[in-house]
Structure 1
Amino acid sequence: MIAKLIYGDTCQGIMKYVLGKEGMRILGYGNIFSQNIAPKFFENVLHFQGQRNATKNRYVHISLNLPHGEHLDDKTFLKISEEYMENMGYGEQPYVVVRHTDTEHEHVHIVTTNVKEDGQVLGIFNSHRRSMATRQHLERKYGLSLAPTTKQKSQLPIYRLPELQFGMDAEKGTKYYLQDVLNSINQKYKVRSFEELERLVKPYHIEIKRTKNESGRIGVKYGLDNQKGYRTNFINGSEVHRNLSGSKLQRVFDIHSKSKLLPMQRKRLLKQIETTYGLFKTIRPHDLIDVFKGYQDIDVKLDKKGDVIEGYTIFDKSRYVFRARELGKNVRMQNRLDIFGNREEPTQIDTESRQFRLEVQKVIKEALTTSYLKSQKQQGLLSEYIMTINFSDIVPSLKASKKHSFLERYIPKDKRTEFRKAVEKIFPIVRERLYIVETKKEKVALQDKVNLIGKVLKNKIFDIGTEQGSVRLLFQVLGVKYRNEQLSYTNSDRHTIPVKLGKLAFPEAMENYVSSSFVRQNHLMLEMLSERSSESGPKLTATAMFLPMIFPKLYKRLNPEYRKQYDSLALSAYIKDAERMHAPFEKSAKDYIAFFNAKGFYFVKGEEGLKIKSIYTGNDSSHALSKRTNLYLSSVSDLTRVFQKQKPIIQELLEEGRNNLKNLWAGHLMERGMYDKFAFMLTAEKVYPNLHREMVQHHMDNGLRESVNVASARYSNIQQNRMLRKGVYAVSSLLGGSGKKTEEMYNGFKDELTDWSKYKGKSRGVSF
């Protein structure tokens, strides 16, 4: 089901369209004293209530659209509409639900107002996000087909193209079809001119005419030509929508054209195209789409006139649309006959080109790094690892590489064997270069760690010292060790830096490995605490919230003056991440509050607005919500009563002992689909997630139930459990790493999280 919302300052045109369609049926009214009133009477009620406030978004036009072939009877469609309005916050507003039968897919229109009876405006914050969550909820409840939730890269679908029976009236279907397409195009692309807009809307049968009055004011008119003998009159842009008038569009075009980023994007794109040309000996024009997409991840469309390809248009990731000819003469197909001259010759890479040699080096470097990250026994640093492996060791990574597959696809068949030999021949050279580069990086990174340790000790962020050897805790969480008055990496002695601390009282048996992703987050956190600033450097992720769980011995020694700062930074990072995870389920501001309550977070009113606190941080610690979120939550009419309902929820979590970060971590794993790791925590450690019931049910239906049953069945196999445990408290790049490759490492601390001895000889299972 697809839901669309359009806001406006008048309702007459909307009502004429909704009620004037042939074959329309009024399914029902909302919050009107009778279901037998005349449509004109309802229109007057809606008009006068909307006029009680001067906001531009007085009225709302909503359409709920089923996919082709899906059917609902009137009673069910009305019920779905009523639930949609209730969840969207319009439950107490007057509205009408009208069913149309003029298209192949079934749909209803709902018209209401944002203005309440007292003249106040409803809070419509996050309306499109709430609509998505409400739609998904109704799809699950009524067994409807699921609509896509991710951004579509394909061309905009034409949901409703007006047919001949719509007539010539601007208030009929033509106007709303134009709204749909033009608004979507302007949101998807940074259009810079009317000429560009004309090209973009042409596939949707929309024609554009520009006008200019005596005073020089720019105007625009829109019309439809569906190529079936049906053409509409041209409609003034301001009649289609106030933001689609000529003058307003021209202002938007000027902003996009004068952007300081535009020259940078054009220069970057030009370099990418020239690099692509430098790699190929010949390119068949019809292969250009695949070549650009596979090599540079650039979306292009061929410009054709009849059967002749005249050039291509680039739909850039910056949302700008460029024609090849505007980027430079040298990239036009007509000016590069050396590549495009023989249009029947197959597309082939130039194996003698400098660019090809560079690409071969890149795929080898990528394979070396990938094989290191995926190695089961990851011993030593990358610089040490790559000098111990042979070419055969990286062959699996090469075969799995998209870049390698792309190169091999366009290399002439008679040269593929030669290509494989060339890759093997150049392998030692690339390995040596990577060794030198990584060695330099590792030395710099180690020095950065030493400098950070000095700042932390100087500022007394933790209550640690050298007398009892507690400074080792700081060394361990930064991935370094101290030996013979030198600091080196935990898993390598290759690089050392002298640090005169004398002989320290360290335990003989020391744990020597920590998940690198947590080390990175801990490094960022300590940099922020030592600089007393959260604005500089890379941003923390939600992982920062769990540092006291992974490094309990160190964070128990965090000095009080820094504890509050840490709590604020961790809360801020986690909340931003949680808001994104809640979005598909969040139907209202009450849901926003309920989802955080279930996780152990609660809201309080402060002098400067609303704040959020948690059961995992100190009572004095809080995070101030943004102005927009303040307004969003304040739109709840009974907010004080809703806040009072938080108390028993939070109290229950505390009484059950679920104020442990492990409970939050279990929910964190579940939200990211890491079901095997969560299943291990549940079966082996009896750790239950702090997560809202609705979300738990979603994940249960999405594969969690099967993972839990499998984990329970194999619980008695100690070897398998050891493998599971190695991943449970590790964080991959998905949760805050570099984002390049998945990396999971074992936290070797034998604290309460990883003490296997308490389960030795026991067998326990949990099922749902």
Structure 2
Amino acid sequence: MIAKIIYGQTCTGTLNYVFGKEGMQILGYGNTFSQSISPKFFASVLYFQGQRNSTKNRYAHISLNLPRGEHVDDRTFYKISEEYMKNMGFGNQPYVVVRHNDTKHEHVHIVTTTVKEDGKVLEIFNSHKRSMAIRQHLEKKYGLTPAPTKKQTSQLPIYRLPEEQFGTEAEKGTKYYLQDVLNSINQKYKVRSFDELARLVKRYHIEVRQTKSETGRIGVAYGLNNQNGYKTRFINGSEVHRGLSGPKLQKVFDVHSKSKLLPMYRKRLLKQIETTYDLFQIIRPHDLEAVLKEYQDIDIKLDIKEDVMEGYTIYDKSRYVFKARELGKNIRMQNRMEIFGQGNEPTQINIESKQFGLEVQKTIKEALTTSYLKSPKQSGLLSEHIGNMQFKDIVPNLLASERYQFLERFIPRNQRVEFRKAMENEFPMVRKKMYEQETKKEKETLEKKFKLIGKVLEKGIFNVGTEKGSIRLLFQALGVKYHDNQLSFTQSDKYIVPVNLGNLTFPKEMEKYVSSGFVRQNHLMLEMLSEQSSENSSKLTASAIFLPMIFPKLYDRMNPDYKKQYESVALGSYIKNAERMHAPFEKSAKDYIALFNAKGFYFVRGEKGFEVKSIYTDNKTSCILPKRTSQYPGSIPDLATTLQGQRPLIKKLVEEGRNKLENLWAGNLMERGLYDKFAYMLTIENVHPNLHREVVQHHMDNGLRKYMNQVIERKTSMQQNRLLKQGVYAINSLLGGRGKKTEEVYNGFKDEFTNWSKYKVQCVRLFI
């Protein structure tokens, strides 16, 4: 199902279209005193309520569209519409649901107002993001086909007969279609002129005509012509939508045209395209789209008119659209006939070119780095790994490289042996250069760590010292070690920094090695705290909140003042990530709060807006939401009740012992799709995720259930099987299963070694 929302200042034209369509059916009215009112009476009610406020977005026009071939009856479609409106925040507003049958896919139109009876405007935030979450919820609840995740090209709907249509027909379906397409184009691209707009909408069969009044006012009109018998008269832009009038669009075009970033985008594209030309000896014109996409990730469209190729149009990631001739004469295909004028000769790379040599070097560097990162026994530094590698050692990584495969594809067969030989000949020089670069970088990194340790000790961020060797905790958390008055990397003695600390008493066994990712996050966090600067806060990820779990003994010794700063910053980093993860499930502002509550976070209202606190940090620590974000939960009608309702949920998590970072980490693993690591925590370590029921169900359906099945089917020990089955049963109880019936759902996990009755008491029910 696809849901579309358009906000507007008037509703007359929309209602005329919705009620005027031939064969339309009114499925029902929402929040009106009777279901027997006339369309005219409803229009008056909606109009007068909407006029109680001067906001430009007074009215909302929503369409819910099923894919072709899918059918639901009128009663069900109205029920779906009711639920959609309730979740979107329009539940108490007057609205009408009208079903149309003029297209090959079944759909309804819903018209309502954003103005409440008291004249205030509904505080509807994130409406398009929430609409997607509601749509997904309704698709699952009613068994509807999910909307496609990839963008598709809209096709012109045929409103009646495939013959020329004029007059009032253009005022109905055509106007809505024009709004839909033109608004989408202006959101997707930074259009700079009416001519450019005309080119972009041409494939949608829309024609753009500029007009000029007697006073010199620039206007615009739109019409449809699919060159197949369907044609409309031109409609003034202001009649289609207030934002699509000539003057309004011209202002937008002027802003886009005068952007200071525009020259930079042109320069980047010019360099990328010239680099591509330098690499190739021949490019068959029709291959240029694929070559630029794969080599430079540039989207282009060839401009072909009557079988004559006139050039190409570039659809840049900056949302600007450029003609090739805008970037420079030298990249026009007509001016590079030595590359494009070879008839039907196959596209091929010039192995004698300088650019080819650079690509060979990049490919070898990539293979050397990949071989280090994917090494099962990653020991030592990258420079040490590079120094020990031979060409034969990186061949598997070379062959798997996308860059290598791209180069080989466009090298003539009779030159491929020479290509591979060039790789081998270039390897020693690339290895030497890369070794020197990494050596310099690693030396600088160790010196930075040494200086950071000094700052941390000087500021007293942690209560560590030389007595009892507690300073080792700081060393380990930064990926370094101390021995014989020397500081070096944990995994290598290649570089040293003299540090005269004397003989320190370290335990015989240090803590387990931790990933470089957590060491890097800890380094960034300590830099920020020691320098009292927020410069590194943007580099911190959600994993920053888990540092006390990874380095528990160190963070237990943290100075209370610095701990408060750390927790506040870590909370902010986690919340930003969580908001992105919650998007597919967040149907309303209440869901926004509920999804965080399930993870152990709760909201309080303070003088500066909403503050977020957690069960994993001190209750005095909080992170203040940005002003715009605070307005979102602030729009909840019964906000006081909602905030009060957090208490029992949070209290239960704490009572169940679910206020440990391990519980949050287990949920993080599930959200990231790392089901193998999650299964280990669930079954072996008996750690359960703090996640909302709906999120857990999504991951169970998305592959977690299948993964657990596959693991259990493998030949494992009896004890492992029992633990895995306990984990699966625990997840089922998490989703609300009960008793014998629930057990039978999972009878595929039974075997002769397992008696489920023994383990039911061991399964922890998760609070969601």
Q: 2:185 aligned with 1:185, yes or no?
A: yes
> What is the 5 A alignment of 1:623-702?
623-702=623-702
Paired with 1:568 and 1:537, the residues of 2 have a C-alpha distance of 11
| Counterpart-to-counterpart distance in 2, 1:203 and 1:398 | 42
Which stretch shifts more, 141-150 or 591-600? Answer: 141-150
1:345 match: 345
1:158 to 140, 155, 160: 155
Give SS of 2:649's match.
helix
Does the 8 A contact of 2:289 with 2:299 survive in 1? yes
Q: How far apart are residue 70 of structure 1 and its match?
A: 1.1
- Do the aligned partners of residues 465 and 255 (structure 1) sit closer, same or farther apart at CA in structure 2, a change above 3 Å counting? same
Read off the aligned partner of 2:500 and give its amino acid letter. Answer: K
What letter is aligned with 1:555?
Y
C-alpha separation in 2, matches of 1:87 and 1:308: 53
- Matches of 2:507 and 2:99 in 1, distance apart? 76
Q: Is the 8 A contact 1:133 1:586 kept in 2?
A: yes
Amino acid at match of 2:384: E
Residue aligning to 1:521? 521
Partner of 2:83: 83
Q: Give matches, 1:392-403, under 5 Å.
A: 392-403=392-403
Q: How many residues align?
A: 726
Structure 1 pair 28–364 and aligned structure 2 pair: CA distance change class (3 A)? same
Once the 2 structures are TM-superposed, how far is the Cα of residue 635 of structure 1 from its aligned partner?
1.1
* Cα distance in 2 between the residues matched to 1:545 and 1:332: 52
CA distance in 1, matches of 2:536, 2:598: 32
Matched letter for residue 157 of structure 2: R
Write the mapping of 1:474-553 to structure 2, written as runs, cut at 5 A.
Answer: 474-511=474-511, 513-536=513-536, 538-553=538-553
Counterpart contact for 1:205–1:225, Cα < 8 Å:
yes
Task: For residue 309 of structure 2, give the secondary structure of its aligned residue in structure 1.
Answer: strand
Q: Which residue type is aligned with residue 585 of structure 1? A: F
Structure 1 CA distance, aligned partners of 2:719 and 2:74?
58
Cα distance in 2 for partners of 1:337, 1:250 equals 38
2:222 maps to 1:222: yes
Query: Aligned equivalents of 1:499 and 1:516: distance in 2?
Result: 23
| Contact kept in structure 2, 1:282 and 1:340, CA below 8 Å | yes
Q: Which residue is equivalent to 1:457?
A: 457
SS of 1:108 mapped into structure 2: strand
> Normalising by structure 1, what TM-score?
0.92
| Residues in 1 aligned to 2:763 and 2:428: alpha-carbon distance in whole angstroms | 52
Q: Distance in 1 between matches of 2:429 and 2:59?
A: 67
CA deviation profile, 1:95-154 (whole Å, cap 9, x unmatched) = 10000000111100000011111111111100001100000000011111111346x3x6
Partner amino acid, structure 1, of 2:154: P
In 1, distance between residues paired with 2:138 and 2:511?
A: 51
Equivalence for 2:16: 16
- The runs of 5 or more residues in structure 2 that have no matched partner are 725-758
1:386 correspondence with 2:379: no
Give 1:716 shift: 5.4
1:570 is aligned to 570
- Check conservation: 1:683, 1:715, Cα contact below 8 A: no
Q: State the one-letter code of the partner of 2:171.
A: E
Q: 2:58 aligns to what?
A: 58
Aligned residues of 1:680 and 1:711 also touching (Cα < 8 A):
no
Contact preservation (8 Å) 2:391, 2:424: yes
Show CA shifts across 1:331-386 (max 9, x none). Answer: 00111011011121111100100000110110111011001000000010010001
Contact 1:162–1:177 at 8 Å: present in 2 too? no
1:51-73 deviations in whole A, cap 9, x for unaligned? 11111111100000111111111
Using the TM superposition, give the Cα deviation of residue 707 of structure 1 relative to its aligned residue in structure 2, in angstroms. Answer: 2.6
Query: What residue identity is the alignment partner of 1:111?
Result: V
Q: Deviations over 1:56-93 (max 9, x none)?
A: 11110000011111111111111111111111111111
Take 1:491 and 1:329, find their aligned partners in 2: how far apart are those partners?
54
Matched, 1:320 2:320: yes
Q: Which amino acid aligns with 1:106?
A: E
Q: Secondary structure at the match of 2:311?
A: strand
Moved more, 707-716 or 536-545: 707-716
Quickly say closer, same or farther: Cα 1:161–1:470, change in 2 above 3 A. farther
SS at match of 2:469: coil
SS in 2 for 1:411: coil
Summarize deviations over 1:559-591 as a string: whole Å, max 9, x none: 001111011101100000000000000000000
Q: Is the 8 A contact 1:602 1:613 kept in 2?
A: yes
SS of the residue aligned with 1:123? coil
Q: Which amino acid aligns with 1:600?
A: G
- One-letter amino acid matched to 1:650: I
Query: C-alpha deviations, 1:193-213, integer Å up to 9, x for none?
Result: 111111111111111111122
1:625–1:767 CA distance, 2 compared to 1 (3 A): closer
- SS of 1:494's equivalent in the other structure is coil
SS at match of 2:584: coil
For 1:449 and 1:103, locate their aligned partners in 2 and report how far apart those are by CA, in whole Å. 66
In the alignment, which residue of structure 2 is the partner of 1:120? 120
User: TM-score if structure 2 supplies the norm length?
Assistant: 0.92
Match of 1:419 in 2: 419
Consecutive unaligned residues of structure 1, counting only runs of 5 or more, are 725-762
C-alpha distance in 1 between matches for 2:303 and 2:22: 40
Code of the residue aligned with 2:167 in structure 1: it is M
Q: Which amino acid aligns with 1:17?
A: Y
| Cα 1:206/1:354, change in 2 over 3 Å | same
Deviation at 1:708, TM superposition (A): 3.1
**Counterpart position of 2:33:** 33
Give the partner amino acid of 1:623. C
| Match in the other structure for 1:749 | none
Letter in 2 for 1:123: E
SS in 2 for 1:686: coil
Q: CA–CA distance in 1 between the matches of 2:217 and 2:556? A: 68
Q: Assess if the C-alpha contact under 8 Å between 1:179 and 1:241 holds in 2.
A: yes
Partner letter of residue 616 of structure 1? Y
Contact kept, 8 Å, 1:220 with 1:246, in 2: the verdict is yes
- Quick one: higher RCO (CA 8 Å, sep 6+), 1 or 2? 1
- Contact in 2 for aligned 1:7/1:60 (Cα 8 Å): yes
Q: Please tell me the residue identity of whatever aligns with 1:651.
A: K
Distance 2:2 2:631 in 1: 27
**1:159 Cα deviation from its structure 2 partner:** 6.4
In the TM superposition, what whole-angstrom CA distance separates every residue of 1:206-258 from its partner, at most 9, and x where no partner exists?
11111122333221111111111222111111111111111111111111111
For residues 237 and 35 of structure 1, what CA distance do their matches in structure 2 show? 36
Partner of 1:755: none
For the residues of structure 2 that align with 1:537 and 1:113, how far apart are their CA atoms?
41
Out of 537-546 and 268-277, give the one that drifted further. 537-546
Equivalent pair of 1:65/1:107 in contact (CA under 8 Å): yes
Give the secondary structure class of the aligned counterpart of 2:366. Answer: helix
- How far is 1:627 from its partner? 1.4
Kept after mapping to 2: 8 A contact 1:708/1:767: no
Q: Is the contact made by 2:537 and 2:569 (CA closer than 8 Å) also made in structure 1?
A: no
| CA distance in 1 between partners of 2:666 and 2:12 (Å) | 53
Instruction: Note the alpha carbon deviations across 1:472-524, whole angstroms, 9 max, x for none.
Output: 10100110011111111100011111122222121232246221000111111
Using a 3 Å threshold, how does the CA distance of structure 1 residues 288 and 175 change in structure 2: closer, same or farther?
A: same
The residue aligned with 2:705 is 705
The DSSP-based 3-state class of the residue aligned with 1:190 is coil
Distance in 1 (CA, whole Å) between partners of 2:713 and 2:660 is 27
Q: Alpha-carbon deviation of 1:719?
A: 13
Say if 2:595 and 2:692, in contact at 8 Å, map to a contact too: yes
Number of the residue aligned with 1:238: 238
Matched with 2:146 is 146
- State, as a whole percentage, how many aligned pairs show the same letter: 70
Distance 1:318 1:521, change over 3 A: same
Closer, same or farther: CA 495–159 of 1 in aligned 2, 3 Å:
farther
Q: Which amino acid aligns with 2:472?
A: R
Instruction: Quote the residue 1:600 is aligned against.
Output: 600
SS at match of 1:295: helix
Partner of residue 739, structure 1: none
One-letter amino acid of the structure 1 residue matched with residue 382 of structure 2: L
- Where 1:98 maps in the other structure, the secondary structure is strand
C-alpha distance in structure 2 between counterparts of 1:646 and 1:696, whole Å? 20
